[in-house]
Amino acid sequence: MKLKKNWLFGVLLILLIGILTACGSEESSSNADSDKKTVVKIGFQKGNTLNILKAQGTLEKRLEKENIKVEWKEFPIGTALLEALNTGAIDFGHASDANGVFSQASGKKSVYVASDTPYPKGVALVVKEDSPIKTVQDFKGKKIGVTKGGNMHYLLVKALEKEGLTVKDVEQVYYKDAAEGRAAFETGEIDVLGIWDPFLAVLEDSTPTRTIVNGENLTQNRTFYFASENFIKNDSAILKIVLEELQKSDEWANENTKEVASILAKELKIDEKPLEIANERREFGVLPIDEEAVNAQQDLADTFFGLELFPEEVDIKAVTKENPDWYPDSVVSK
């Protein structure tokens, strides 16, 4: 009988140890999960609003409270950023209006979730100060330098259209980047240069020029914010925080244009003065993807399709999402 009691006691002891071990393991696993940080990967390009937010460090502080880590990934151009977004290498980022259209036209499905405030004065068609060209009508037969499919290319088309002209009335000269375009302009290879900020401001600061037309009443010249489908579906609360902190950063930037110029000058390795000029003619801010934004972007897409820059039409609405719960109160109330 004594042996039987000892055996029973031993079995009960083993069961108790097993239960305690399991509980301890579950608690350790729970603690490990709580210690593990969620990571949000944000793509940015030098000189833009996300670059300002990164420099301030406020997003990291905000998300740290939620046990979320921010990883910043720099991209040289918007198309590369959107490619990374499409492959899952990043969760959120920004790119120009034209970048968004061409990305969609190539089959990418990055989702528009917000927009920068329109920046029409940030893109222009300029001539040298002593040029005989005075109006868009004078563009006829002249060499106009633009980046193929860029925001200044769109501006050229809309400016000509307003005057009853088309791109067939001018000689388009394509350049690959701002530096190449400026070189062609200064050596006289082209008569008119299509250029955008901050390179527009840098040119104005160093070379006597005249702006024939900028984007006012012709093109909104927006930057858009994009997110992956997975990020929207699984991390909409983080998306809201990102947009809130971005808006706070933008509001600060509007009140501190010189400080912003100092931040971006270091990033872009250019003088502060032209950046101050560029910042003074724009307003920073986050906007929802509303009907106005979609219509403006659709017109840009339709224009480039009409120029046969891509083979099939694109439907901007198909890759846009607007949710008032994502946006800061100051944005929704606008």
With cut-offs at 50, 70 and 90, classify the pLDDT of residue 330.
Answer: low
pLDDT at 15: 44
Per-residue DSSP letter, 334: -
Residues 114 and 237 in one domain: yes
Residues 112 and 157 in one domain: no
Residues 114 and 128 in one domain: no
pLDDT at 109: 83
Mean pLDDT along residues 148-175:
97
pLDDT at 24: 47
Residues 128 and 264 in one domain: no
Q: Measured between alpha carbons, how far is 28 from 34 in angstroms, rounded to an integer?
A: 10
pLDDT at 36: 57
Residues 114 and 174 in one domain: no
Residues 80 and 91 in one domain: yes
32 located within any domain: no
Phi (first) and psi of residue 240, to 5 degrees: -60, -45
Structural domain for 138, as ranges: 120-214
pLDDT at 304: 97
Q: Is the confidence at residue 29, as pLDDT, over 80? A: no
3-state secondary structure of 108: coil
Number of H helices, E strands in the chain: 14, 11
The owner of tokens 């600060």 is: 252
- CA–CA distance from 248 to each of 18, 206, 258, 276 (Å)? 53, 33, 17, 20
Q: Measured between alpha carbons, how far is 200 from 177 in angstroms, rounded to an integer?
A: 13
When divided into structural domains, the chain yields a total of 2
Q: Tell which residue, 197, 215, 300, 217, has the closest CA to residue 257.
A: 197
Residues 203 and 235 in one domain: no
Q: Which residue type does 112 have?
A: Y
pLDDT at 26: 43
pLDDT in tens, 92-138: 999 999 999 999 999 988 899 999 999 999 999 999 999 999 999 99
Supply the CATH number for residue 94's domain.
Answer: 3.40.190.10
125 located within any domain: yes
**Contact criterion met (CB below 8 Å) for 317 and 298:** yes
With cut-offs at 50, 70 and 90, classify the pLDDT of residue 327.
Answer: confident
Q: Measured between alpha carbons, how far is 323 from 301 in angstroms, rounded to an integer?
A: 23
pLDDT at 322: 80
Choose the final residue of a domain: 157, 182, 214.
214
Bridge pairing between strands 111-116 and 143-146:
unpaired
pLDDT in tens, 38-51: 999 999 999 899 99
Q: Measured between alpha carbons, how far is 94 from 284 in angstroms, rounded to an integer?
A: 14
The larger pLDDT score, comparing residue 32 to residue 180, is at: 180
Q: Is the confidence at residue 297, as pLDDT, over 50? A: yes
The larger pLDDT score, comparing residue 15 to residue 29, is at: 15
With cut-offs at 50, 70 and 90, classify the pLDDT of residue 334.
Answer: low
Rg for the chain, CA atoms, rounded: 27
29 located within any domain: no
Peptide bond into 274 cis (omega under 30): no
Percentage of residues in the chain having pLDDT higher than 70: 87
Burial class, 95, CB count within 10 angstroms (exposed 0-12 / middle 13-18 / buried 19+):
buried
Q: Measured between alpha carbons, how far is 73 from 49 in angstroms, rounded to an integer?
A: 14
**Helix, strand, coil % (nearest 5) of the chain?**
55, 15, 30
93 located within any domain: yes
Q: Measured between alpha carbons, how far is 43 from 299 in angstroms, rounded to an integer?
A: 26
pLDDT at 326: 85
Residues 208 and 137 in one domain: yes
**Contact criterion met (CB below 8 Å) for 76 and 285:** no
Which DSSP string do the residues of 38-84 spell out, in sequence order?
Answer: EEEEEEE-TTSHHHHHHHHTHHHHHHHTTTEEEEEEE-SSHHHHHHH
pLDDT in tens, 238-286: 999 999 999 999 999 999 999 999 999 999 999 999 999 999 999 999 9
pLDDT in tens, 61-89: 999 999 999 999 999 999 999 999 999 99
Choose the final residue of a domain: 175, 192, 214.
214
pLDDT in tens, 223-247: 999 999 999 999 999 999 999 999 9
Q: Tell which residue, 213, 216, 215, 241, has the closest CA to residue 227.
A: 241
244 located within any domain: yes
pLDDT at 30: 38
Average pLDDT over the chain, rounded to an integer: 89
Q: Tell which residue, 100, 82, 94, has the closest CA to residue 297.
A: 100
Choose the final residue of a domain: 214, 235, 266.
214
Residues 181 and 323 in one domain: no
**Contact criterion met (CB below 8 Å) for 116 and 224:** yes
Residues 96 and 151 in one domain: no
Tokens representing 324 are 């008032």
Per-residue DSSP letter, 126: E
Q: Is the confidence at residue 20, as pLDDT, over 80? A: no
pTM: 0.86
Per-residue DSSP letter, 217: T
193 located within any domain: yes
8 located within any domain: no
Residues 107 and 124 in one domain: no
pLDDT at 324: 78
Tokens representing 176 are 């690959």
pLDDT at 332: 53
pLDDT at 176: 93
173 located within any domain: yes
Residues 110 and 238 in one domain: yes
